[in-house]
Structure 1
Amino acid sequence: MRKFRLTRFLVPVLAAAALAACSDEVRDGEATGGTNSSATGSAPAPSTTVPIVEPAGAVRIPIDETGTATMPADSVLEIRVPAAWGDGADALRCTVVDGSGRSGDLHSSEVKKREEAGGQEWMTLWTFSAAPETEFTIGCADPEHRVPPEGQPFVRVVPRSSAPPAAR
């Protein structure tokens, strides 16, 4: 059952990545009149960002869209955003709803936990928990348009172990 759920989340992510790669190639071709950029002698600039390797169970959800995440055992889920968004992140309005339509209880703290991932710093805005295997629909909106529009802004929903560390 768990393998099916993981596959159900991976397939759309992989399809979206493939579609995004194809659309970039088409746009590059259109911008140069249908010629390959290597034929003109100019190569595209290398990306300066390191790909983010997401932990198992993590999902990316574009701003103003929804996605689903499943609560792992002995974990909580965190909603993280780039720290570079600064005060703009405070304008985000996120909702978490379980399969029965109940709203999840989002917890926040004054001091935002920060973590490095993919060459950039991320901060945790909210944390929520539930019984293991509970599936949630999560969405974050930016009604005040304070999140920088560069790229495709998204939040990361990442599991964090809530189990106490093993005794040494």
Structure 2
Amino acid sequence: MRLPLVLFLIAPLVEIASFILVGQAIGVLPTLGLIILAAFAGVILLRYQGAGILRRLRSEAQRGLDPGRELVHGALLVVAAFLLIVPGFFGDVIGILLFVPFVRDLAWRLIKPRVVVRSTYSEAGFRTSRPKDENVVDLGDDEYQREPDQNSPWRDPRIGRE
């Protein structure tokens, strides 16, 4: 739990340092231009690659295959675009790497043992299924009745007086 907190605190410092280093190397205006260019690239790449992921996801659903890989690829593309859109060179490098399919496949291999996709396939596509719970009893309309609880703390004390 401490690692994400440390990364969350260190990431802005790394980004500020990268702004300073790049700004000293190429100047202020080119640095700002690179930041704006990276944001546009993030939006364009998300649109282009996101459409491809949706096509592959639909194709796998029609063939009855497990959509887990494509779902993770889609989530990583959203993270990659977010990292490119948010100003910072370190985040941009990570974002560009996440747009590479090989890197996403590597991430999928690391995540796959921890991800469980429960679904049933029908003509309409995948639907999530819920396991049957032995502690749940389904009753019909004629098998129960609702009556006001006289001991409820939420009951209005003025109602029900005779």
Both structures adopt the same fold (TM-score exceeding 0.5): no
Higher RCO, 1 or 2 (CA under 8 Å, sep at least 6)?
1
The structure with more strand, counted as a fraction of residues: 1
Tell which structure's C-alpha radius of gyration is larger.
Answer: 2
Normalising to structure 2: TM-score of the pair? 0.29
> What TM-score comes out, normalization by structure 1 length?
0.28
